[in-house]
Structure 1
Protein backbone atom coordinates (compact mmCIF):
# COMPACT_ATOMS: atom_id res chain seq x y z
CA UNK A 1 0.00 0.00 0.00
CA UNK A 2 1.06 3.64 0.12
CA UNK A 3 2.06 5.98 2.91
CA UNK A 4 -1.15 8.02 2.71
CA UNK A 5 -3.61 7.97 5.63
CA UNK A 6 -6.51 5.52 5.69
CA UNK A 7 -9.06 8.30 5.36
CA UNK A 8 -8.91 11.36 3.08
CA UNK A 9 -10.59 13.44 5.79
CA UNK A 10 -8.79 16.67 6.72
CA UNK A 11 -11.33 17.79 9.31
CA UNK A 12 -12.96 20.41 7.10
CA UNK A 13 -16.32 18.80 6.47
CA UNK A 14 -19.08 20.30 4.36
CA UNK A 15 -21.40 17.45 3.43
CA UNK A 16 -24.36 18.96 5.26
CA UNK A 17 -25.58 20.94 2.25
CA UNK A 18 -23.28 19.56 -0.47
CA UNK A 19 -23.22 16.10 -1.99
CA UNK A 20 -19.43 16.34 -2.23
CA UNK A 21 -17.33 17.23 0.81
CA UNK A 22 -15.26 20.32 0.06
CA UNK A 23 -12.50 19.13 2.40
CA UNK A 24 -11.79 15.63 1.10
CA UNK A 25 -13.77 15.29 -2.13
CA UNK A 26 -15.81 12.24 -1.12
CA UNK A 27 -19.56 11.96 -1.47
CA UNK A 28 -21.72 12.03 1.65
CA UNK A 29 -22.33 8.29 1.22
CA UNK A 30 -18.59 7.59 0.93
CA UNK A 31 -17.89 9.59 4.09
CA UNK A 32 -20.59 7.85 6.12
CA UNK A 33 -19.73 4.35 4.88
CA UNK A 34 -15.92 4.69 4.80
CA UNK A 35 -15.35 2.39 7.80
CA UNK A 36 -17.25 -0.39 6.01
CA UNK A 37 -15.37 -0.11 2.70
CA UNK A 38 -12.88 -2.74 1.64
CA UNK A 39 -9.30 -1.71 0.89
CA UNK A 40 -10.13 -1.94 -2.82
CA UNK A 41 -13.14 0.35 -2.47
CA UNK A 42 -11.08 2.86 -0.49
CA UNK A 43 -8.35 2.72 -3.14
CA UNK A 44 -10.88 3.46 -5.89
CA UNK A 45 -12.19 6.50 -3.99
CA UNK A 46 -8.64 7.76 -3.32
CA UNK A 47 -7.81 7.42 -7.03
CA UNK A 48 -10.94 9.33 -8.08
CA UNK A 49 -10.56 12.21 -5.62
CA UNK A 50 -6.85 12.50 -6.42
CA UNK A 51 -7.57 12.56 -10.15
CA UNK A 52 -10.29 15.19 -9.70
CA UNK A 53 -8.05 17.23 -7.38
CA UNK A 54 -10.76 19.74 -6.49
CA UNK A 55 -10.98 19.19 -2.73
CA UNK A 56 -9.09 21.38 -0.26
CA UNK A 57 -6.94 18.33 0.55
CA UNK A 58 -5.27 18.71 -2.85
CA UNK A 59 -4.97 22.50 -3.09
CA UNK A 60 -1.67 24.20 -2.53
CA UNK A 61 -1.42 26.95 0.04
Structure 2
Protein backbone atom coordinates (compact mmCIF):
# COMPACT_ATOMS: atom_id res chain seq x y z
CA UNK A 1 0.00 0.00 0.00
CA UNK A 2 2.89 2.37 0.74
CA UNK A 3 4.39 1.57 -2.66
CA UNK A 4 1.13 2.45 -4.41
CA UNK A 5 0.97 5.81 -2.60
CA UNK A 6 4.62 6.50 -3.47
CA UNK A 7 4.00 5.58 -7.10
CA UNK A 8 0.99 7.91 -7.20
CA UNK A 9 3.02 10.80 -5.77
CA UNK A 10 5.83 10.20 -8.26
CA UNK A 11 3.40 10.13 -11.18
CA UNK A 12 1.80 13.37 -9.99
CA UNK A 13 5.23 15.02 -9.67
CA UNK A 14 6.17 13.79 -13.15
CA UNK A 15 3.10 15.46 -14.68
CA UNK A 16 3.85 18.61 -12.66
CA UNK A 17 7.44 18.66 -13.96
CA UNK A 18 6.30 18.10 -17.57
CA UNK A 19 3.65 20.83 -17.32
CA UNK A 20 6.05 23.19 -15.55
CA UNK A 21 8.68 22.57 -18.21
CA UNK A 22 6.26 23.48 -21.01
CA UNK A 23 5.19 26.64 -19.17
CA UNK A 24 8.84 27.58 -18.62
CA UNK A 25 9.71 26.98 -22.28
CA UNK A 26 6.71 29.03 -23.39
CA UNK A 27 7.69 31.89 -21.10
CA UNK A 28 11.31 31.88 -22.31
CA UNK A 29 10.16 31.74 -25.95
CA UNK A 30 7.75 34.67 -25.48
CA UNK A 31 10.48 36.75 -23.80
CA UNK A 32 12.90 36.14 -26.68
CA UNK A 33 10.09 36.78 -29.18
CA UNK A 34 9.38 40.16 -27.54
CA UNK A 35 13.08 41.07 -27.74
CA UNK A 36 13.00 40.36 -31.49
CA UNK A 37 9.93 42.61 -31.87
CA UNK A 38 7.20 40.02 -31.39
CA UNK A 39 4.61 42.72 -30.69
CA UNK A 40 4.84 43.96 -34.28
CA UNK A 41 4.29 40.43 -35.56
CA UNK A 42 1.27 39.97 -33.28
CA UNK A 43 -0.55 42.88 -34.97
CA UNK A 44 -0.36 41.36 -38.45
CA UNK A 45 0.08 37.70 -37.56
CA UNK A 46 3.29 35.79 -38.20
CA UNK A 47 2.02 33.35 -40.84
CA UNK A 48 0.36 35.89 -43.20
CA UNK A 49 3.45 38.09 -42.97
CA UNK A 50 5.64 35.20 -44.15
CA UNK A 51 3.21 34.38 -46.96
CA UNK A 52 3.26 37.98 -48.20
CA UNK A 53 7.06 37.93 -48.40
CA UNK A 54 6.93 34.60 -50.23
CA UNK A 55 4.52 35.90 -52.88
CA UNK A 56 6.47 39.15 -53.31
CA UNK A 57 9.68 37.24 -54.04
CA UNK A 58 8.07 35.07 -56.72
TM-score range for the pair, normalised by the shorter chain length? under 0.3
Higher helix share: 2
Mark the structure with the bigger radius of gyration: 2
TM-score computed with the length of structure 1 as normaliser? 0.27
Larger RCO, structure (CA 8 Å, separation 6 or more): 1
TM-score normalized by structure 2? 0.28
